[in-house]
Structure 1
Amino acid sequence: MSENNSRRGSRGYDSGKGIKGGKRHIIVDTVGLVITAEVHKSIQDHDGALNLFAQARCKAPTLRKFFADQEYTGKLQNRCLLETECLLMITKKVVDTGFQVIPKRWIVARAFDWLSNFRRMSKGYEHSPLTSQNNIFFNMITIMLDKLAHF
């Protein structure tokens, strides 16, 4: 009984979205395929980003720019430039009435949408952030194979 209680609190909580499960951080290419990903129990976007930028730069040395939303403004932009030699460009929402597609932001949203089609990714089922992170990579491999098969 106590083992079950200790596992219950280990999943984390995403306060931004108000859901159980860890924070999923991904970096995708211009097509929307995952370059690198991390899952944390409870960490803010800007705190988990710098390590992810460095990982992406190691995996894809030709990277020169990252695009991110307004959560990543401020000191993180300077640190990203100093530590990875890449620009961190912030895509800002257009203050206007009605729906508008914000350039570059839809690519990451589409990647999360593709991943949420997998049952284990639809909610924060996993107790271990590492398991959830591996699910991101396995599911992205499945997505890429499916796209190649229909090409």
Structure 2
Amino acid sequence: MLGVMVTAADTGDRAAARVLLAQMSDRHHHLAPVWADAGCTGSLIERCLTALALVVSIVRRSDGQKGFVVLPKRWIVERFFAHLMQSRRLVRDFECRTTSADVMIYWSMTLIRSRRIRGD
């Protein structure tokens, strides 16, 4: 996990992605590839290419697909969410501040990483 950004419910995906990708491109100069869902289309892709030199690939569901379909690269996000749900505090929205939720996600991922290093 390279970075986390928890936002209020009234913040759109595109606005949050714009800020997060700018932060990540400053910290990680060789960030590639970047995958996003269909909610991050439009001016965000153009801005990432021109201002941040990032190529964003949109993972789309084909028009003919119906029902629940696991999209390519989507399993990475779903697995990440499953790991977070192993932390009891993150199962429900107990945090009052977005910064507290950020810290809890980092803490959860640190526990997961340390278990992998230990071999558990």
TM-score, normalising length: structure 1: 0.72
- In the TM superposition, what whole-angstrom CA distance separates every residue of 1:9-45 from its partner, at most 9, and x where no partner exists? xxxxxxxxxxxxxxxxxxxxxxxxx110111123111
- How far the C-alpha of 1:79 sits from its partner, in A, is 1.1
Q: Aligned equivalents of 1:83 and 1:123: distance in 2? A: 37
Residue 97 of structure 2 corresponds to which residue in structure 1?
128
Q: Aligned equivalents of 1:93 and 1:145: distance in 2? A: 35
Number of equivalent positions? 118
Residue 48 of structure 1 corresponds to which residue in structure 2?
16
Residue 93 of structure 1 corresponds to which residue in structure 2?
61
TM-score, normalising length: structure 2: 0.89
Which secondary structure does the structure 1 equivalent of 2:90 belong to? Answer: helix
Residue 51 of structure 2 corresponds to which residue in structure 1?
83
CA pair 129-99 structure 1, distance change in 2 beyond 3 A? closer
Residue 143 of structure 1 corresponds to which residue in structure 2?
112
- The one-letter amino acid paired with 1:54 is A
Choose from 62, 72, 75 the match for 1:103.
72
- How far the C-alpha of 1:99 sits from its partner, in A, is 4.9
Structure (1/2) with the larger helix percentage: 2
Q: Gapped runs of 5+ residues in structure 1?
A: 1-33
Q: Aligned equivalents of 2:81 and 2:27: distance in 1? A: 20
Structure (1/2) with the larger strand percentage: 1
- How far the C-alpha of 1:56 sits from its partner, in A, is 1.6
Q: Aligned equivalents of 1:61 and 1:104: distance in 2? A: 22
Identity %: 29
Q: 1:63 and 2:34 equivalent?
A: no
CA RMSD of aligned residues (A): 1.6
Which secondary structure does the structure 2 equivalent of 1:121 belong to? Answer: helix
Residue 116 of structure 1 corresponds to which residue in structure 2?
85
Q: Which runs of 4+ in 1 moved over 6 A?
A: none
Which secondary structure does the structure 2 equivalent of 1:144 belong to? Answer: helix
